[in-house]
Structure 1
Amino acid sequence: MHIVGIGTATPSNRYTKSECLAAFRNSDWFDRLDARAHFVATTVLQRDNGIDARHLAVDALDEVFAIDPDMLASRFLRHAPQLAAQAAQRALAHAGLEPAQIDAVVVSTCTGYLCPGLSGHVVERIGLRRDVRAFDLVGQGCAAALPNLMLGEALLSSPGCEHVLSVCTEVCSAAMYLDNDPGVLISACLFGDGAGAAVLSRRASPHGRCIAWRAGASLMEPAQRSALMFEQRGGMLRNILTRAVPALAADYAQRVLHKVLEPRGLHTGSIGTWVMHAGGRDVLQALEQRLELQLGDLRYSAAMLREYGNLSSAFVYFVLEAALADAAAPGWWWLSSFGAGFSCHGALLEVD
């Protein structure tokens, strides 16, 4: 399998940490929450948490604090199809392909639910064929991009499938929830809205760089499910984020990496470019330490986190796009995502 096109999209409105903190202090929610909650939110939004700003699907920040099931569902329905279609169109343009050339589409999300699913909206908005094979993947959280790509790889091995469109779209502002729990508050300060897409093909692109998917692997530990997950409360999604996440992410990322590299006689030093889900600043630091990386190895992940925040499943498309835009050196690249489950996935790419 080859990745022949990449595209990303975000809402147009960008909000800094200081703007978010001011909006929180001016909201009704500030008086509803206790002093500890004020301290947590203020600390996260004032310190260097690795994030400068986020793009959110709201016209003004006070909309974020209008939290009820109907409002959040409406926000997801309005923005998720739009973001997914924009990213997909940009990926197709990068690949130099027309919509009619796509034989299958796989769409992932965890921040909202539609039936019929998001795939139908993508088919309609970008003009895919009506006989396209369409799949919707839900409930995989921040890790979803790699399972999405793995399904694309499987589809490309089936008869009559030459090109697959992979899309991850998340409207995290449509999964907003606030209470006094520190993990809930930190989540509200970390996540942004956006979509990423990739065009997958059996053959390399005739123009541009060759990005070949050589091998992938996954690990899941359901016993750690409660460390990072959504739960339903009051008809809304409530994100559970625990202190164990950075260590879990680093542990599983290392195990998946070794599972792929060791049979091929490769090691961590063989990887020239790292395309990693960030999660947050603490997660990046844990990854750097556990994998014994050099300063700057995770620069693309850090840069995307600083500009966009945690985009959940869409994040790694932004990191891959950034590495390509920077003309990162050819050789072995490592692509990895992790999240709810607790799950972790990785893939070895050969890029020329």
Structure 2
Amino acid sequence: MTATIAHPESGTAPVLLEPETKHRAEPSRIIGVGTAVTEDSYSQRELLDLFRIDDPRVRSVFLNSAIERRHLTLPPLGAGDAFRHETQGELLAKHKRLALGMGARAVRQCLAGAGLEVADIGYLCCVTTTGYLTPGLSALLMRDLDVNPGCSRVDVVGMGCNAGLNALNATASWSMAHPGKVAVLLCAEACSAAYVMDSTMRTAVVNSLFGDGAAAIALLADPPDAARPAPGKLPADVSCSSAGPRLLGFASHLIHEAIGAMRYDWDDDQNKLSFYLDPDIPYVVGAHAERVVDRLLDGAGLRRSDIAHWLVHSGGKKVIDAVRVNLGLTRHDLRHTTGVLRDYGNVSSGSFLFSYERLMQENRARAGDFGVLMTMGPGSTIETALVQW
């Protein structure tokens, strides 16, 4: 039945309110995940020796990072077996090569895990901050993978480590608007192409942290009339490792006063871009984590104690500890976050998907479980998402 309300301005027709749609769009759900890294990996001590770093302060930053190994593509050797200086142009070419290689492998693995083919992709979103490409990474990857040229695509460039969740929000929206069609999100970060080598503490902090990595997930929204058990109605002992969670909502928080705490600057001496990390940013992020997480959960009528799985960006030891303390989490809650940091370092926008993959491999998610995804990055920004298996 159609309802009418009188318009407050006389002489105009009433506004017609159509009856509520019988079927609302189903939430998108994650149906596949895949990750990839570059070929060579190094321990922190090996990197210090290879770059001939003797400064005890810099060595301490590397060796107390809670990172054991990272995948990196080092510069070619020059005179005297020292690493040659890479120009900005060479770094951009490296980014293109590594991002495409890792990205293609991550997408293929993601699709294979979901029983899908490249031809099934209806939407491709590519995220990167470690290089700039035109045409964008999405177009180049579609060519290399032979994706249907009618596939919709978008590139998210320069947002930083938080960008994976920004892009997931947009990708989930496309998926809900196109039920039954597959959307793929790829985060490809060639951090080897964003390094400056000098003796300053500023670059030491950055160079001790980041590694190369790519991660992809596939999303699908069921048609409105598709048969599906109600949330939380499956038996508690049913594993959901193969049936990914539904994306229930997102919440963001921009910390205005810390807008310059994570940024790219142009280094005139090196003639290339140089990334800067404010040493206080872990504590700033930690202090604001409660605000955005509680807003995310309040919208669903949940408390932190209702969350079974926490998948937080592996931003570094200090930021992980700050988030853990401020949210009242345990080390076990963040085991995948710290495990990814230990084995890969900070792989920027894709880090939280490396953690998600480990949770799926662990086979501990159960029907009805809630999870929170969280990323942090330049802006300074905290992004969150609520999921349910």
* TM-score scaled by length of structure 1: 0.91
One-letter code aligned to 1:41: V
Alignment partner of 1:264 is 2:291: no
One-letter code aligned to 1:277: H
* TM-score scaled by length of structure 2: 0.82
Alignment partner of 1:167 is 2:186: yes
Q: Is the 2:336–2:359 Cα contact (8 Å) retained in structure 1? A: yes
Q: Is the 1:40–1:185 Cα contact (8 Å) retained in structure 2? A: no
Give the Cα–Cα distance (whole angstroms) in 1 for the partners of residues 241 and 347 of structure 2: 29
Match of 2:59 in 1: 42
Alignment partner of 1:56 is 2:83: no
Give the Cα–Cα distance (whole angstroms) in 1 for the partners of residues 88 and 35 of structure 2: 27
Match of 1:22 in 2: 49
Match of 1:82, SS? helix
Match of 1:212 in 2: 246
Q: Deviations over 1:147-170 (max 9, x none)?
A: 111110121233577211100000
Deviates more, 1:120-129 or 1:277-286: 120-129
User: How much does 1:59 deviate?
Assistant: 7.9
**1:309–1:8: structure 2 CA closer, same or farther, 3 Å change rule?**
same
> Aligned match of 1:224 in 253, 258, 266?
258
Give the Cα–Cα distance (whole angstroms) in 2 for the partners of residues 305 and 129 of structure 1: 36
Alignment partner of 1:312 is 2:348: yes
Give the Cα–Cα distance (whole angstroms) in 1 for the partners of residues 372 and 359 of structure 2: 11
Give the Cα–Cα distance (whole angstroms) in 1 for the partners of residues 263 and 57 of structure 2: 20
Q: Is the 2:75–2:83 Cα contact (8 Å) retained in structure 1? A: no
User: How much does 1:45 deviate?
Assistant: 2.2
> Aligned match of 2:90 in 57, 65, 71?
71
Give the Cα–Cα distance (whole angstroms) in 2 for the partners of residues 140 and 196 of structure 1: 16
Match of 1:216, SS? strand
> Structure 2 unaligned runs (5+)?
1-27, 223-227, 229-239
Q: Is the 2:31–2:244 Cα contact (8 Å) retained in structure 1? A: yes
Deviates more, 1:214-223 or 1:99-108: 214-223
User: Which has more helix, going by share of residues?
Assistant: 1
Alignment partner of 1:13 is 2:30: no
Give the Cα–Cα distance (whole angstroms) in 1 for the partners of residues 335 and 255 of structure 2: 29
**1:324–1:176: structure 2 CA closer, same or farther, 3 Å change rule?**
same
Match of 2:295, SS? helix
Match of 2:11 in 1: none
One-letter code aligned to 1:19: E
Match of 2:357, SS? helix
Match of 2:387 in 1: 349
Match of 1:111, SS? coil
Q: Is the 1:192–1:311 Cα contact (8 Å) retained in structure 2? A: yes
User: How much does 1:126 deviate?
Assistant: 1.9
Percentage identity across aligned positions?
30
Pairing of 1:141-220 with structure 2 (within 5 A) = 141-159=160-178, 162-203=181-222, 208-220=242-254
Q: Deviations over 1:245-271 (max 9, x none)?
A: 111221333222101112322111111
Alignment partner of 1:298 is 2:350: no
Q: How many residue pairs get matched?
A: 339
One-letter code aligned to 1:200: L
Q: Is the 1:155–1:161 Cα contact (8 Å) retained in structure 2? A: no
Pairing of 1:88-99 with structure 2 (within 5 A) = 88-99=107-118
Q: Is the 2:194–2:273 Cα contact (8 Å) retained in structure 1? A: yes
Match of 1:283 in 2: 319
Deviates more, 1:305-314 or 1:77-86: 77-86
Give the Cα–Cα distance (whole angstroms) in 1 for the partners of residues 254 and 121 of structure 2: 31
RMSD: 2.1
> Aligned match of 1:80 in 99, 105, 111?
99
